Structure 1
Amino acid sequence: MKPQNTEFQIVEWVRAYCLVTGQHGYKFFAVPGKTMLERVLWAVVLVLCLLAAIAMVWFEWSRNDVSPTLIALDTSHYPIWKIDFPAVTLCGVNRIQKSRALTVSKEWRLPPGMTRDQILHDLIFLSQLIDMDGSNVTELGRMQSVLDMNNITAMAALQSVMLPCEELLTKCMLKGKILKCGKYFKVLKTPSGFCCSFNYQANKKDSSPLLQTPSGRVNPNRSYRMSACAFQMGLTVLINNHIEEYLDASMASYGVKVRLLRLRFK
């Protein structure tokens, strides 16, 4: 068997490369069935494109050589105690607690002809103040008459039948210390109903000092900030969902919605 000519091998390698490469245009230069004129035209196009690419690279290289881009970092370290801890809001899927609804249905005065079972049933429609629905107008009107008779607003009534934060949150830990959840989580009115919120700025007008830094300085007008990095230094909450108390859930599920809010936007 005669060894193949070296020049012939190089041509075959070039042809194989042109056929399999992902570069645009090369396969038309080597694909079988093309005339010599077509191959020459494609060769000219490829050479012009290559020259244009070289010219662009040379132009950018020269411009960067004359006026290079300079980047200077003051420091790559930013203390974590200068970063606000986010506001954490926990919203139970169940917006009306069954036992509390039974209690208020027995305590409220009722219009003539209205039974306790009816008011217990109509309490469910209080949640429509959050997700407004045009139906059930009769029940809403009947509920409004009860609220007027007892001199109570709809929002106050809805808050009275929600699961209290002290019962939803059984244990809280912040910066590795066990805390009383009711002291740090406050009731907050949200688009999901009444929720339990931690570190929300609007709830801090009369709160105790909040900012703690390694230097020990305290500022009562600022949010919580951590003094070190570690998951133990963050917020940990143990939740009792009281599944047996579900009366009006915002979705076909059990659980708690968690919302994180950035305190400052720049």
Structure 2
Amino acid sequence: MEHLINVNSKTEKGTKTEEKGFSRDYAKTIALLSALNFNRSESFGKTPETVENEEKQEKTKRAKSSIIKDYLVDYTANSNLHGLKYIGEKERTYVEKIFWLFMFICCVVLCAGLIRKVWIKWNESPVIVSFAENPTPVWQIPYPAVTVCFETKAMQRKFNFTEYYHLYMNQRDNLSLYEQHMFEDLTMVCDDHLAPANGRKFSSGVDTVNNIKSVSPNLTEVFFGCKWKDIPSENCSDLFSPILTEEGLCYTFNTLGPDEMFRLNNLHKNYPYLEHDKRAESWSLEEGYMAGTPIETYPHRGAGYGVKSGLTFLLKAKKIDLDYLCRGPVQGFKILLHNPAELPRLSQQYFRSPLSQEVVVAVKPKMMTTSYGLKPYEPTRRQCYFPSERYLHYFKVYTQANCEMECLANFTYTRCGCVHFGMPYGPNMQVCNAGSRECIKSAQMELVTIEIQSGLDSRVGNDSDSLGEALAVSSRCQCLPACTSIEYEAETSQADYDWAAIFRAYKLYNISEELKDLTYARVMVFFKEAQFITSRRSELYGQTDFLANCGGLLGLFMGFSILSVAEIVYFLTLRLCCLLWRRRNKQRRIDFAKSSNIPGPSPNKVIHPYSE
């Protein structure tokens, strides 16, 4: 009996113990379920649908951030850029990752700075001027065009400019209208201060030119004899022809014809600038002489160097015809050597041939060519124009001198309402006369200093419309050199030319009074050397050089290459698209499985405590 009592008491104790254990397990289960229910509800008052949507959004954010992180880690692990793999490795500590990230950023910044310097050098100075490898013989280029102007613009026997100047200033009413107009027309080729401000502002261009030509010395009155390549010419008109310039009537040798230099359909028809019909047979400024062109051609080409291979001409003047007021006390001739395709401007560049002097001119050509590799560059970067890139309205051949002449004509017309008769102009433009001479002079100075003048507000206030239009004209000039250009430098020396001593040496004593009144000057023009060195524009940094410099810097600092670019493009496009496409297909299969009620494992399965 006692034994049964003891057994029962043990049983009761065991039962109580089991009940206590069950109570504790039950309490734990209730607490777990309550915690799960609290997490799902998050706050009191939310509906189950809202809670479920918020859980989905949070899971989506965590999934996206995890995807981006895994994607970046994948790129750093597979990239061939130096240092990136240490940043993405999971085994590395934060200190190591920060160190490699800092080093990578420093290399990127330093490399970008050096590449910027290379870019600036390539962008601002892509052109280098160097000497050609081989010298150029003088027979490959044309002989320089030689333009000669007499300093006396009106022969005293035909029109005494000095006398009419004083009459015009003091007794103008006593002069006929023809005499007044003749004097005013001649002041257009004399010194600026001689032009009367109260004279005509405009005139007929053809009348002005005819008046100047009528009193200027003609070709036979200027030239006594000529020789080309040591062969005397029967008549100097075979070599020289009249040309109209800002200095009035001059004479030129070896210049292109008017239909080859000018766009005659855009010019006025009042008078010609050139009066000869010689044509260039096989020469152009860009291409030079064609292969097979003979030595004797036009424009004339040099056949050697020295006096016997050049041009020699003897000039003459009568003392009675000299005028010391129009052009000042220095008498003689102005001479300019220029490109055969250019209209000469003797008011800007020339050398003198004084009377009773012999002038020896040794010519040194300066030729500049340009590599066709520079053609893709902008003209402002290479600092020159190819023939097809710049159109001139009045000239067929682009040269810097022709461009400046045309620009000056347009600028003068804009500022003064007229142009000088020696400038090329259109059919509807007026010709300036003595009353506009001061305006012409001011326009020339303004064009030179136009950038400074444009910043002066006071000038704009007085004549804003005219100056604003003139500024627009000047901004369109941009007269850069031609990519192929030829210039001629002259080294001169001179000595006394005593022609009377020759007569005495030959015992020719019967010198007439007319010959005694004559004075002579001799000029000899020839190439100094048989060859010269051509300058050449070429690429300092081509696209290949620039790419090689940048690639070297990128490879040195980062191990960067073209495949690195392909790798970045791959990770940003193809690989990303494939990854998104794979995830979208996986999500579609899951959604399809749910909609078809196909049993599957639950991602959030809760195990019941009595499920064992």
Cα distance, 1:135–1:114 mapped onto 2, change above 3 Å: closer
Letter in 2 for 1:128: T
Computing the radius of gyration over CA atoms, which structure comes out larger, 1 or 2?
A: 2
Give the secondary-structure state (helix, strand or coil) at the position aligned to 2:216. Answer: coil
Residue 198 (structure 1) aligns with: 253
Deviations 1:15-68 (A, max 9, x none): xxxxxxxxxxxxxxxxxxxxxxxxxxxxxxxxxxxxxxxxxxxxxxxxxxxxxx
Say if 2:157 is the partner of 1:99: yes
Contact kept in structure 2, 1:209 and 1:218, CA below 8 Å: no
Question: Residues 74 and 160 (structure 1 numbering): CA distance in 2 closer, same or farther, change over 3 Å?
Answer: same
**Alignment counterpart, residue 176 of structure 1, candidates 227, 230, 249:** 230
User: Cα deviations across residues 113-170 of structure 1 (Å, max 9, x unaligned)?
Assistant: 9667x855763432222355662535x59xx7xxx8xx96111111111011221011
- Indicate if the aligned counterparts of 1:210 and 1:218 stay in contact, CA closer than 8 A: no
CA distance in 1, matches of 2:152, 2:279: 31
Aligned partners of 1:72, 1:129: CA distance in 2, in Å? 44
Match of 1:188 in 2: 243
CA contact (8 A) 1:80 1:226 kept: yes
1:92-120, Cα deviation, whole Å (9 max, x unpaired): 11001122338xxxxxxxxxx9667x855
Matched with 2:367 is none
Distance 1:154 1:252, change over 3 A: same
The alpha-carbon deviation at position 258 of structure 1 amounts to 0.8
- The Cα of 1:208 is off from its aligned counterpart by 6.9
Equivalent of 1:259 in 332, 336, 353: 336
* One-letter amino acid of the counterpart of residue 301, structure 2: R
**Partner SS state of residue 201, structure 1:** coil
Instruction: Give the residue type in structure 2 aligned to 1:261.
Output: H
Match of residue 123 from structure 1:
182
List aligned pairs for 1:18-57, cutoff 5 A: none
Q: Which consecutive residues of structure 1, in runs of 5 or more, have no partner in the other structure?
A: 1-70, 103-112
Alignment of 1:1-266 (within 5 A): 75-76=134-135, 78-101=136-159, 123-130=182-189, 135=196, 137=198, 153-179=207-233, 180-202=235-257, 203=274, 206-207=277-278, 217=294, 222-247=298-323, 249-263=326-340, 266=484
Aligned to 1:52: none
Provide the C-alpha distance between the structure 2 equivalents of 1:123 and 1:72, rounded to a whole number of angstroms: 53
Unmatched tracts of structure 2, length 5 or more: 1-129, 161-172, 258-273, 283-288, 342-481, 485-612
Distance in 1, matches of 2:239 and 2:175, equals 40
Check conservation: 1:243, 1:254, Cα contact below 8 A: no
**Distance 1:135-1:72 versus aligned 2 partners, 3 A rule:** closer
Shift of 1:183: 2.0
Query: Could you tell me the TM-score, scaled by structure 1's length?
Result: 0.53
Q: C-alpha distance in 2, partners of 1:115/1:124?
A: 10
SS at match of 2:158: helix
**Matched residues in 1 for 2:309 and 2:147: separation?**
18
SS at match of 1:207: coil
Flag the 1:126–1:243 CA change in 2: closer, same or farther, 3 A.
Answer: farther
What root-mean-square deviation, in Å, do the aligned CA atoms of Structure 1 and Structure 2 show? 3.9
Secondary structure at the counterpart of residue 244 of structure 2: strand
Q: Describe the shift of the 1:183–1:216 C-alpha distance in structure 2 as closer, same or farther (beyond 3 A).
A: same
- Distance (whole Å) between structure 1 residues aligned to residue 299 and residue 236 of structure 2: 17
Letter in structure 1 aligned against 2:311: L
Q: Distance in 2 between matches of 1:120 and 1:249?
A: 16
Helix, strand or coil at the partner of 1:154: helix
- Contact 1:90 1:257 survives alignment (8 Å): yes
Distance 1:84 1:204, change over 3 A: farther
**Counterpart contact for 2:242–2:275, Cα < 8 Å:** no
Once the two structures are superposed, what CA deviation does each residue of 1:200-251 show, in whole Å capped at 9, x if it has no partner? Answer: 224486227878x9x882786x411121222111111101022211245322
Q: Distance in 1 between matches of 2:276 and 2:236?
A: 18
* Alignment size in residue pairs: 175
Task: Give the 3 Å change call, closer, same or farther, for CA 126–73 of structure 1 in structure 2.
Answer: closer
Q: Does the CA-based 8 Å contact 2:157-2:320 persist in structure 1?
A: no
